[in-house]
Amino acid sequence: MFLNLYLGELKKGFSKILTIIIAVIVILTSVIFLFVFKDLGDDTNAIDMSWIPRDAYIYTPERVEVELAEWNAELEKAEKEKKEQKFDYYRTMFVVGPNRIYECKANINMLEYIRDNELYNEPITYHNSIGTTGLLGGSFTGFGIKFVTAENYIAIVMGIVLSMLSLYGVIVGANILGKEFQTGTLKMLFIRPVTREKVFFAKMLALMTINTIILFFSFIFAIILGYISFPNITFKALYSFNMGAFSVQNSGFQLFITLATSWVSIMSMSLLSYYFSILMKNRIGGIFVPIVLQAISPMVMGLVGLSRFCLINSFKFERFVGVAGSVFPGDNFFINLAVYLVYMIALMVVSLVVFKKRDIA
């Protein structure tokens, strides 16, 4: 019975017009940036990497020790500033780049990992928290693009497409139940012997499935364009988790990180929209509230020194696995995970309780 209910909600949840619009936008965006990057990369032979300074990505024992001393000095300075600023240390309207203490500890742990595993005299880069591996691997230097690889193209395009997919998820999340509240068609569901709990979770699962399908379509399309149009150049990269756990992976691993963190972000915004459409019994509220929260709450929470406890900020897990984004003062992966689970579970429970008790006639 639940499977049939879920499949029915999945069919209803797919808006043909909205899906066609987002598919066209994704395709056009991918193609436009394909030509933009093709143009930028025409002047450089991507295979010839001789122009990259050797000391930018090859470590020696001497270099590791020198940089360890420098980062330890920076950490001591950053911790001293934290003590002087007291609670003001946590007040921030926005952050560009990683928190200084977090960044220092991450670099110290990276260098110690290189030293302990003797990763010397071979090309390697650190997949850090302010961009893709290409920042140190040679694809990007400063603000100028020297050449574009398939991996760079896919990661950048998906980063741009993510905002569009998030908006799509918000609209679908608000419509999948909010629309039925407004039109009065929801009561038709209960002609059949189904409980409100089953309807709630069937719609939620259908919503998650729709977002997953759209995300995978966008990702696969970007992969096909990327690997057809740009050179597939890979290199070793150090990946960090929560500034401490390091592993050496192929640079292509960044694509998996991009996909996984994008899925969490899109799904979270869509579920937030779904919950608020129930709480407000209105699809407009389901769309409006998440967008307002996304625009305003990080700034407000930052001003009062509570950025790490902001719901919208907790969606950004990429900060801790090195794709992009910022780590707020005092934040780490486990604090962020706890904040995320508390908010999302609480919203789900409250929404379910409201849905079970609300008059749908």
Within 8 A by CB and 6+ apart from 237, the residues are 124, 125, 126, 127, 133, 137, 248, 249, 250, 251, 253, 254
Tokens matching residue 210: 């729709």
Tokens matching residue 131: 């961009």
Q: At what angle do helices 283-303 and 150-183 cross, to 10 degrees?
A: 130
Helix (H, G, I), strand (E, B) or coil at 22: helix
Q: At what angle do helices 196-229 and 16-41 cross, to 10 degrees?
A: 30
Tokens matching residue 268: 């979270």
Which residue has better confidence, 296 or 190?
Answer: 296
Question: Model confidence over 3-48: pLDDT tens digits?
Answer: 888 888 888 888 888 888 988 999 998 898 888 877 665 544 444 4
Residue 240: strand pairing partners: 246
Which structural domain, as residue segments, surrounds residue 152?
2-357
What proportion of the chain, given as a percentage, has pLDDT over 70?
A: 83
Query: Is residue 238 within 8 Å of 109, Cβ to Cβ?
Result: no
Phi, psi of 74 (to 5 degrees): -65, -40
Please give the tally of structural domains in the chain.
1
Which residue has better confidence, 142 or 151?
Answer: 151
Least confident of 43-57, 82-96, 162-176, 290-304: 43-57
Question: Model confidence over 209-258: pLDDT tens digits?
Answer: 999 999 999 999 999 998 898 888 777 777 878 877 788 887 778 788 88
Average pLDDT of the segment spanning 73-100: 79
Question: Model confidence over 268-285: pLDDT tens digits?
Answer: 999 999 999 999 888 888
